[in-house]
Amino acid sequence: MYRLLALTVAVLLLCPMMSAFADGEDQAAADAVAALIDAIYVQKWTENTDAEIEAARKGWDALTDAQRELVEGENADPDYFGRDTGDASLDDPLNADEIGERELLVVSFGTSFNESRVNDIGAIEKALQAAHPEVSVRRAFTSQIIINHIQARDGEKIDNVAQALERAVRNGVKTLVIQPTHLMHGAEYDELCETLDKYADKFESVAVAEPLLGKVGQDAGAVNADKEAVARAVTNAAVSDAGYASLEEAAKDSVAFVFMGHGTSHTAKVSYSQMQTQMKDLNYANVFIGTVEGEPEETACENVIEAVKAAGYKKVVLRPLMVVAGDHANNDMAGEDEDSWLSMFRATGAFDSIQCQVAGLGRIQEIQKLYVEHAGAAMK
């Protein structure tokens, strides 16, 4: 009896040690995969990138569910592989060869949210192909981080700009038109042009179409037809999705619409101020422009909140002023963390309701038509 009691005590004492050892093994396995994810969370492509992506994928697949919950690194977390963002098989990476002599290369920042990639970027690409059937529409993303994420999680390979241009050269493209889906002439647009400069002599003709908002202009008061078209399109879509027949009807119901852009330190940040000017010129008094980065300063969330409060509106509809409804729309705008726009508006206690419309600009037909017009002008 004493031997049995002693054995029982020994086992009870050993169990926490065994559990700690098992936990240590689990954490070590999770840490190894986190390191693999961090290794591919980079903006530069190298000859080792594909192998590193495959290693991360295999590492994740080998983890148990419990180990996956422990994955945490500088950029790694369980959502890198585990978050469901829609069916990637519905997307077309548009990276086929046999392009022909005329190509329309659609360049986007990109998104790892599969549903948004189909409904926003994919919708623009399809509209461009339908409008210009005589050319081959192809895709490139400027964010290598996003390209790597999609390839690792979903097995879908999307060209970066250099790879897409190399593909065009190999296929004997003579006439190349680039259509950026970027909002403005910002840093991403500049980097695109810098990369393109290295290939300019590889084609008989190269043209870059205007981004969505057209020319930047000199100051906050400078607006143009493109900005007016975008202002009307996104406002009409938001009003309709909110269930109102008109913006005026929404205003009578004390509803303010807040469109959240990304923001930038680039000189093109004045474009956001111009969009607010455009809303004012259209007499859209209950429409406000904000930015995640708070640049320009008046577009920071806290300043937008004060502007909406000062105007007396009691209900708020948040919607992204972004081509895709990706990470910023889902997390920075509509997320449940305390620093999301949804949470910050709620925390004021000043509003009766705050709703989020997680929908990118790319799915709006009027926006697609604007890209078609820009591409057509570049082709002339």
* Mean pLDDT score, 174-178: 97
- The answer on 286 and 204 residing in a single domain is no
Task: Decide if 220 is inside a domain.
Answer: no
* Phi, psi values for residue 177, rounded to 5°: -120, 130
pLDDT-based confidence at 22, cuts 50/70/90?
Answer: low
Residues 6+ apart with CB under 8 A from 269: 186, 263, 291, 295, 296
Distances (CA, A) of 92 to 89, 110, 117, 137: 8, 13, 9, 11
**CA–CA separation, 43 and 160 (whole Å):** 10
Per-residue pLDDT at 3 exceeds 50: no
What's 290's domain CATH number?
A: 3.40.50.1400
Structural domain harbouring 180: 90-214+366-379
- The answer on 229 and 324 residing in a single domain is yes
Q: What share of the chain is helix, strand, coil (3-state, %, to 5)?
A: 55, 10, 35
Task: Decide if 67 is inside a domain.
Answer: yes
CB neighbour burial string for 221-237, b if at least 16 within 10 angstroms, e if fewer: ebbeebbbbbbebbbeb
- Residue 375 CB: number of other CB atoms within 10 A? 24
- The answer on 238 and 352 residing in a single domain is yes
Least confident segment among 13-27, 40-54, 321-335: 13-27
With beta carbons less than 8 A apart as the criterion, state whether 209 and 135 touch.
no
| pLDDT number for residue 58 | 98
pLDDT digits 0-9 by tens, 276-304: 999 999 999 999 999 988 888 899 999 99
Which of 46, 66, 82 represents a domain boundary (last residue)? 82
Which of 53, 82, 111 represents a domain boundary (last residue)? 82
Least confident segment among 8-22, 143-157, 304-318: 8-22
**Share of residues in the chain with pLDDT > 90 (%):** 83
Distances (CA, A) of 107 to 46, 166, 265: 20, 14, 21
Name residue 105's beta-bridge partners: 138, 178
**Is it true that the peptide bond before 296 is cis, omega within 30 degrees of 0?**
yes
Q: Do β-strands 175-180 and 205-208 pair in parallel, antiparallel, or remain unpaired?
A: parallel
Task: Decide if 348 is inside a domain.
Answer: yes
Per-residue pLDDT at 125 exceeds 70: yes
- The answer on 281 and 244 residing in a single domain is yes
pLDDT-based confidence at 185, cuts 50/70/90?
Answer: confident
pLDDT-based confidence at 111, cuts 50/70/90?
Answer: very high
Q: Which two tokens stand for residue 86?
A: 């829609």
| pLDDT number for residue 54 | 98
- The answer on 106 and 174 residing in a single domain is yes
- The answer on 57 and 31 residing in a single domain is yes
* Mean pLDDT score, 241-262: 97
Active site residues: 262
pLDDT-based confidence at 113, cuts 50/70/90?
Answer: very high
Which of 35, 63, 82 represents a domain boundary (last residue)? 82
Name residue 206's beta-bridge partners: 176
- The answer on 357 and 230 residing in a single domain is yes
Whole-model pTM? Answer: 0.91
- The answer on 312 and 207 residing in a single domain is no
| pLDDT number for residue 216 | 85
| pLDDT number for residue 9 | 37
Of 164 and 3, the structure prediction assigns the larger pLDDT to 164
Task: Decide if 219 is inside a domain.
Answer: no
Task: Decide if 118 is inside a domain.
Answer: yes
- The answer on 133 and 76 residing in a single domain is no
Question: Which ranges in 217-340 belong to alpha helices (H)?
Answer: 225-241, 247-252, 270-281, 301-311, 327
| pLDDT number for residue 26 | 96
pLDDT-based confidence at 20, cuts 50/70/90?
Answer: very low
Task: Decide if 71 is inside a domain.
Answer: yes
With beta carbons less than 8 A apart as the criterion, state whether 342 and 380 touch.
no
- The answer on 340 and 249 residing in a single domain is yes
- The answer on 281 and 375 residing in a single domain is no
Provide the number of structural domains found in the chain.
Answer: 3
